[in-house]
C-alpha cells in the first residue's frame, strides 16, 4: 500500500558553520505518486533521498503517513545506481536476501514472493544465474526485485538506470511504470536525465544548487502507461525544453 511523504522546511548541513547542502525543502508526495527530481551536481539530490530514508540527520520535518522519520524503516526501500548484488548468491538468493534479514516471513511465503517477483521483472530464465552472468540491465532488475520483496510502501531510487546503455535504459523505464502501478508504490526518483524525469514522473521537481532548494515544479498529466513513442511527441519536447531552461538557471 502506498504512503504519503511530507517534507516541511527540510535542511541539511554536514558540519557546523558550513553552507547547507539543502535549505527549506517543502514537498508533499501523495500516495501512489511518482515524483522525479533533477538538478545540477551538488544540489543535494542524493542527500535528500538519504534523509527521507532515515539515513541522514536533518533539520525540519519529514513524515511518512504522519509518522516522523528519524531512522530507517521497513516500509521504505532504496534502489541505488549500482546494484550491489552479492556475487555468491544467485538471482533468487539476491532477491530473497532482504526478506531473510527481516525474518518476518516463513520460508514458503518467501519462495512464493520470489516467484512472483521473477515474473514481474522478467527474470525467470535467469533465476539460477550469479551476478557475473547477468547483464547490467538484468542486475538492475534483480536490484529492484530485491527492494520490492520487502513490500515497501515508499520506493526511493537514486539514478538506478544511470549506468545502463540507452536501449536497456528505455526498456527499464517502460517496465518500471507497470511495476510501480502494480505494486501500489509511492516513488521518489533521482536522475540527471531530463528525458527520464519527464517520462517517469507524475511531477518533476528541479533543485537549485549551493544550497539545494526547490527551484521549479512541473506536473505531467500524460496518462499511464506511457509508450516510448511519446518521447518523440511535441508535448514531450515542450516539457523537456521547459525543464532544460529551468536547469540552466538552477
Is the separation of the CB atoms in 2 and 179 below 8 Å?
no
Using the predicted structure, report yes or no on whether residue 104 has a pLDDT greater than 80: no
Rounded Cα–Cα distance for residues 174 and 232 (Å): 14
| Confidence bin at 159 (pLDDT 50/70/90) | very high
**Bigger pLDDT: 62 or 168?**
62
Q: What is the pLDDT of residues 141-154, one digit of tens each?
A: 999 999 999 889 99
Tell me what pLDDT residue 108 has: 84
Domain spans, the chain? 5-75+153-249, 85-151
Q: pTM for this structure?
A: 0.92
Q: What is the pLDDT of residues 4-54, one digit of tens each?
A: 999 999 999 998 888 899 999 999 999 999 999 999 988 999 999 999 999
User: Angle between the 136-149 and 166-183 helix axes, to the nearest 10 degrees?
Assistant: 20
Fold of 5-75+153-249: Rossmann fold (3.40.50)
Phi and psi for 35 in degrees, rounded to 5? -110, 125
Amino acid at each position: 500500500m502506498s504512503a504519503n511523504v511530507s517534507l516541511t522546511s527540510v535542511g541539511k548541513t554536514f558540519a557546523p558553520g558550513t553552507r547547507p547542502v539543502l535549505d527549506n525543502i517543502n514537498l508533499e508526495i501523495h500516495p501512489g505518486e511518482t515524483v522525479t527530481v533533477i538538478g545540477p551536481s551538488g544540489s543535494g539530490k542524493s542527500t535528500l533521498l538519504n534523509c527521507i530514508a532515515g539515513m541522514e540527520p536533518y533539520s525540519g520535518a519529514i513524515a511518512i503517513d504522519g509518522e516522523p522519520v528519524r531512522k530507517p524503516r521497513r516500509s521504505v526501500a532504496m534502489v541505488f545506481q549500482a546494484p550491489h548484488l552479492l556475487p555468491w548468491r544467485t538471482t533468487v538468493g539476491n532477491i530473497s536476501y532482504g526478506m531473510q534479514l527481516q525474518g518476518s516471513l516463513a520460508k514458503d511465503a518467501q519462495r512464493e514472493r520470489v516467484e512472483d517477483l521473477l515474473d514481474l521483472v522478467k527474470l525467470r530464465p535467469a533465476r539460477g544465474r550469479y551476478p557475473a552472468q547477468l547483464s547490467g540491465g538484468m542486475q538492475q532488475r534483480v536490484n529492484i526485485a530485491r527492494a520490492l520483496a520487502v513490500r515497501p510502501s515508499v520506493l526511493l531510487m537514486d539514478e538506478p538506470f544511470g549506468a545502463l546503455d540507452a536501449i536497456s535504459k528505455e526498456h527499464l523505464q517502460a517496465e518500471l511504470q507497470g511495476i510501480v502501478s502494480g505494486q501500489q508504490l509511492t516513488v521518489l526518483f533521482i536522475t540527471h536525465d531530463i528525458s527520464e524525469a519527464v517520462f517517469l514522473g507524475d511531477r518533476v521537481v528541479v533543485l537549485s544548487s549551493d544550497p539545494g532548494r526547490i527551484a521549479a515544479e512541473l506536473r505531467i498529466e500524460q496518462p499511464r502507461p506511457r509508450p516510448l513513442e511519446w518521447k518523440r511527441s511535441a508535448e514531450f519536447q515542450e516539457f523537456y525544453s521547459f525543464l532544460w531552461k529551468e536547469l540552466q538557471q538552477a
